[in-house]
Amino acid sequence: MRTDFSLKSSTYINFKEKLSNSYLERGKTDILRVVVSSTLSPKETIHTYQPLLQYISKKTGLQCILIQKKTNFEIKDLFNSKAVDIGIITASAYVLDQDQMDILAIPVINNDLTFSSVIVSNKDNIRTFEDLKGKSIAFTDIASFSGYLIPSYYLRENNLDINYFSNHIFTFNSSDSIRALLENIVDAAALNSKFFRTYIKENPEKSENLHIVWQSPIRIGNPPIVARKNISPEIEKKVKDVLLNMSNDPEGQRILRSMGYDSFSKPQSLLYLPIKMILRKLEQ
């Protein structure tokens, strides 16, 4: 059986926020086009990543332009058309287009390079995966490891399918999945484990009833920062050196802390192999 990755039958919630994006400027050698595919809302993405881009600009002398995209497939298209130079992307986005990009660095978060998928709920009657039968769930992106692929893989391994849930929606970021849960649009949400732990730490007043229903045994590498293939080796080295040395610089340390990072680590592509395995299984 081959899994259908089409989007036609799915419901989407778009919590619209009016934000101005900086778009592509071609033919300028002092411009660094950085695409961000984040688990956060558009506004939160700007707040979180703007200090990092300003720091990279300061250290490299390149003007960073922030480009936001909702889905992993949109990220893939940008790299394939060489419309961006650097990506702060999800782990799945890297695996989907690995031949078009190189990892520059991986964030270390709480002394760990990896994360898992969690399904969370705020309903007292939902405590186990079995309790999710006939309930509604929010996913993030159809190509997200934590927000869709690994829960789908778990269903398949247990001879179940998406119809195990009464309804499912896609929100395109974890912030909106949490919002859908808190507003009782859904009964549960599939999330990045580190996003969830950060959320409950920063939002204790909203998190009183939130609890983990299920956690994947499979862990993968944290979302990497990548460069497109064939980017100038000089630019690639500049950006990579800035990232890997941030934890040695007081200003860099402050920015890392604001993002919830300890430091950046050297590339380790093997950390993303589980996604390839899951994709192969789901496509059979």
Q: Which residues pair with 187 in a beta bridge?
A: none
Q: Which residue is associated with the tokens 């990579």?
A: 240
**How far is Cα 141 from Cα 89, in angstroms, rounded to an integer?**
13
- The pLDDT of residue 14 is 33
- The pLDDT of residue 28 is 56
Structure tokens belonging to residue 202: 């920063």
Residues of the chain with pLDDT under 70: 1-29, 38-39
CB 246 within 8 Å of CB 84: no
pLDDT tens column, 176-219: 999 999 999 999 999 999 999 999 999 999 999 999 999 999 99
For the chain, residues classed under CATH 3.40.190.10 are 20-111+222-272, 117-218
**How far is Cα 51 from Cα 163, in angstroms, rounded to an integer?**
43
- The pLDDT of residue 71 is 84
- The pLDDT of residue 73 is 87
Name 82's Cβ contacts closer than 8 Å, sequence gap at least 6: 228, 230
Structure tokens belonging to residue 95: 């695996």
Name 167's Cβ contacts closer than 8 Å, sequence gap at least 6: 11, 136, 137, 186
Strands (E) located in 8-155: 11-12, 31-36, 63-68, 86-88, 101-108, 114-115, 117-121, 136-139
In CATH terms, the superfamily for domain 20-111+222-272 is Periplasmic binding protein-like II (3.40.190.10)
- The pLDDT of residue 7 is 31
- The pLDDT of residue 6 is 30
**How far is Cα 239 from Cα 100, in angstroms, rounded to an integer?**
18
What is the pTM for the complete model shown? 0.85
- The pLDDT of residue 41 is 76
Can you say whether residue 45 is alpha, beta or left, with left for phi > 0 and alpha for psi between -120 and 50 degrees? alpha
Environment class of 243 (CB within 10 Å of its CB; exposed 0-12, middle 13-18, buried 19+): buried
Environment class of 131 (CB within 10 Å of its CB; exposed 0-12, middle 13-18, buried 19+): middle
- The pLDDT of residue 197 is 95
Looking at 3.40.718.10, 3.30.70.141, 3.40.190.10, 3.40.1180.10, the CATH number of the domain 117-218 comes to: 3.40.190.10
Q: Which residues pair with 101 in a beta bridge?
A: 228
